[in-house]
């Protein structure tokens, strides 16, 4: 067990979400699935045998999906960042994560069908934003502020002033 991992709170879709996330990313697996028992029913109200939590791993990162009920919802205050090397990788993640009710947002952000926010970001953007040439970085910011899904070629054109 790693010292830190991320817990994602779902109403009742923890197992469905874990299966979805490991289908999106190449390196993923489901770990232990814990189920609610008779004990604590007066607090959790969940039927005995229903899924309480699902441990899963994606690209070496550990997560727990928890069926905690409808009390808390995801919001943009937290997002998962996926750094991509190519446009094809951006396009693939974008298509999969916005499928079945996900939403495109702005500047490389999206929400998946569970409401979890993601940033699908080209690795080259970090290098562009760290350029000492302020004019280049300002052109890149202007370009990406108009995008939903990042377009690497358009960012490169903006960076070079073309």
- pLDDT > 70 fraction of the chain, expressed in percent and rounded: 99
Kindly state whether residues 79 and 146 are assigned to the same domain: yes
Kindly state whether residues 18 and 81 are assigned to the same domain: no
Kindly state whether residues 82 and 130 are assigned to the same domain: yes
Question: Which of 72, 99, 128 corresponds to the end of one domain?
Answer: 72
pLDDT-derived band of residue 53, with 50, 70 and 90 as boundaries? Answer: very high
- Of 58, 61, 51, nearest to 15 by C-alpha is 51
Q: CA-CA distances (angstroms) from residue 131 to 124, 127, 134?
A: 11, 7, 7
Number of domains forming the structure of the chain: 2
Question: Which of 18, 53, 72 corresponds to the end of one domain?
Answer: 72
pLDDT reading at 82 higher than 70? yes
Question: Which of 72, 99, 132 corresponds to the end of one domain?
Answer: 72
Kindly state whether residues 124 and 45 are assigned to the same domain: no
Per residue in 93-113, pLDDT tens? 999 999 999 999 999 999 999
Given this model, what pLDDT does residue 1 score? 64
Mean pLDDT to the nearest integer, 12-26 = 96
Q: CA-CA distances (angstroms) from residue 68 to 16, 84, 122, 148, 150?
A: 14, 32, 34, 31, 34
Given this model, what pLDDT does residue 31 score? 96
Structural domain boundaries enclosing 36: 1-72
Kindly state whether residues 110 and 65 are assigned to the same domain: no
The domain that holds 128 is classified in CATH as 3.10.180.10
Given this model, what pLDDT does residue 102 score? 97
> How far apart (Å, rounded) are the C-alpha atoms in residues 110 and 92?
13
pLDDT reading at 64 higher than 70? yes
pLDDT reading at 74 higher than 90? yes
């Amino acid at each position: 067990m790693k010292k830190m991992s991320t817990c994602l709170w779902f109403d009742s879709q923890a197992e469905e979400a874990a299966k979805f996330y490991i289908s999106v990313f190449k390196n993923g697996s489901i770990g232990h699935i814990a189920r609610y028992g008779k004990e604590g029913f007066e607090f959790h109200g969940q039927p005995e045998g229903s899924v309480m939590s699902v441990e899963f791993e994606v690209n070496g990162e550990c997560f727990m999906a928890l069926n905690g009920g409808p009390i808390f919802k995801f919001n943009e205050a937290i997002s998962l960042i996926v750094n991509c090397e190519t446009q094809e990788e951006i396009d693939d993640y974008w298509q999969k994560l916005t499928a079945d009710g996900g939403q495109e947002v702005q500047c490389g952000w999206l929400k998946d069908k569970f409401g979890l926010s993601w940033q699908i970001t080209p690795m080259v953007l970090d290098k562009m934003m760290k350029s000492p040439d302020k004019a280049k970085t300002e052109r890149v910011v202007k370009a990406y502020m108009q995008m939903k899904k990042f377009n690497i070629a358009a960012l490169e054109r903006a960076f070079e002033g073309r």
